[in-house]
Structure 1
Amino acid sequence: MKFYVIGDVTVDHLYHLADLPRPGQEVAPQRSSMEPGGAGGTISVTLARLGHSVTLAARVGDDPFAEYALSYVRESGVNENAIQRDPELLTSTITVMQSENGQRAMISDGAANRQLDPSKLKKKDVETSDALIVSAYSLTEGPQREYALKAMEYARSAKKAVPVFVDLGTGAVNRAGTSLLDHVIQADYLLLNQHELQALTGTNSISAALGRLGQAGAQNVIVKVGKMGSIVWTPGDTELVDPVTPEQNIVDTTGAGDIFAAAFAHAILGGATLQAAAQAANAAGALSITSFGAQERPITAADLAQVLGG
Structure 2
Amino acid sequence: MKFYVIGDVTVDHLYHLDRLPAPGEEVAPIRASMEPGGAGGTISVTLARLGHTVTLAARVGADPFAEYALSHVRQTGVSESAIQRDPEVLTSTITVMQTASGQRAMISDGAANRLLDPAKLKKKDVEGADALIVSAYSLTEGPQREYALKAIDLARGAKKPVPVFIDLGAGAVNRAGTSLLGSVIQADYLMLNQHELLALTGTNSISAALAQLGSKGAQRVIVKVGKMGSIVWTPTETELVDAVTLAENLVDSTGAGDTFTGAFAHAVMTGASLAEAARAANAAGALSVTSFGAQERPITPADLAQVLKQ
- What is the TM-score when the length of structure 2 is the normalising length? 0.99
State whether structure 2 residue 138 is matched by structure 1 residue 138: yes
Q: Which residue of 2 aligns with 1:236?
A: 236
Q: Residue by residue, what CA displacement relative to the aligned partner does 1:161-204 show, whole Å, maximum 9, x if unpaired?
A: 00000000000000000010000000000000000000000001
- Paired with 2:150 and 2:75, the residues of 1 have a C-alpha distance of 29
Say how many residue pairs are matched.
310
Give unpaired runs (5+ residues) of structure 2.
none
Q: Which residue of 2 aligns with 1:171?
A: 171
- Paired with 2:117 and 2:277, the residues of 1 have a C-alpha distance of 33
Q: Which residue of 2 aligns with 1:280?
A: 280
Task: State the AA in 2 paired with 1:258.
Answer: D
- Paired with 2:245 and 2:21, the residues of 1 have a C-alpha distance of 29
- Paired with 2:21 and 2:222, the residues of 1 have a C-alpha distance of 33
- Paired with 1:246 and 1:160, the residues of 2 have a C-alpha distance of 40
In the TM superposition, 1:88-107 aligns within 5 A as 88-107=88-107
Q: Which consecutive segments of 4 or more residues in structure 1 shift more than 2 A?
A: none
Task: State the AA in 1 paired with 2:185.
Answer: I
- Paired with 2:172 and 2:140, the residues of 1 have a C-alpha distance of 6
- What is the TM-score when the length of structure 1 is the normalising length? 0.99
Shift in Å, 1:136: 0.1
In the TM superposition, 1:1-310 aligns within 5 A as 1-309=1-309
Give unpaired runs (5+ residues) of structure 1.
none
The percent identity for this pair of structures is: 81
Task: State the AA in 1 paired with 2:178.
Answer: T
- Paired with 2:230 and 2:288, the residues of 1 have a C-alpha distance of 16
- Paired with 1:122 and 1:199, the residues of 2 have a C-alpha distance of 33
Contact kept in structure 2, 1:246 and 1:290, CA below 8 Å? no
- Paired with 1:282 and 1:31, the residues of 2 have a C-alpha distance of 26
- Secondary structure class of the residue paired with 1:290: coil
Shift in Å, 1:112: 0.2
RMSD: 0.6
- Paired with 1:21 and 1:207, the residues of 2 have a C-alpha distance of 36
Q: Residue by residue, what CA displacement relative to the aligned partner does 1:62-97 show, whole Å, maximum 9, x if unpaired?
A: 000000000000000000000000010000000000
Shift in Å, 1:24: 1.3
Q: Residue by residue, what CA displacement relative to the aligned partner does 1:123-171 show, whole Å, maximum 9, x if unpaired?
A: 0100010000000000000000000000000000000000000000000
- Paired with 2:167 and 2:299, the residues of 1 have a C-alpha distance of 18
- Paired with 2:69 and 2:76, the residues of 1 have a C-alpha distance of 13
Contact kept in structure 2, 1:16 and 1:100, CA below 8 Å? yes
- Secondary structure class of the residue paired with 2:85: strand
Task: State the AA in 2 paired with 1:87.
Answer: P
- Paired with 2:211 and 2:189, the residues of 1 have a C-alpha distance of 16
- Secondary structure class of the residue paired with 1:192: strand
- Paired with 2:247 and 2:305, the residues of 1 have a C-alpha distance of 15
Shift in Å, 1:252: 0.1
- Secondary structure class of the residue paired with 1:219: coil
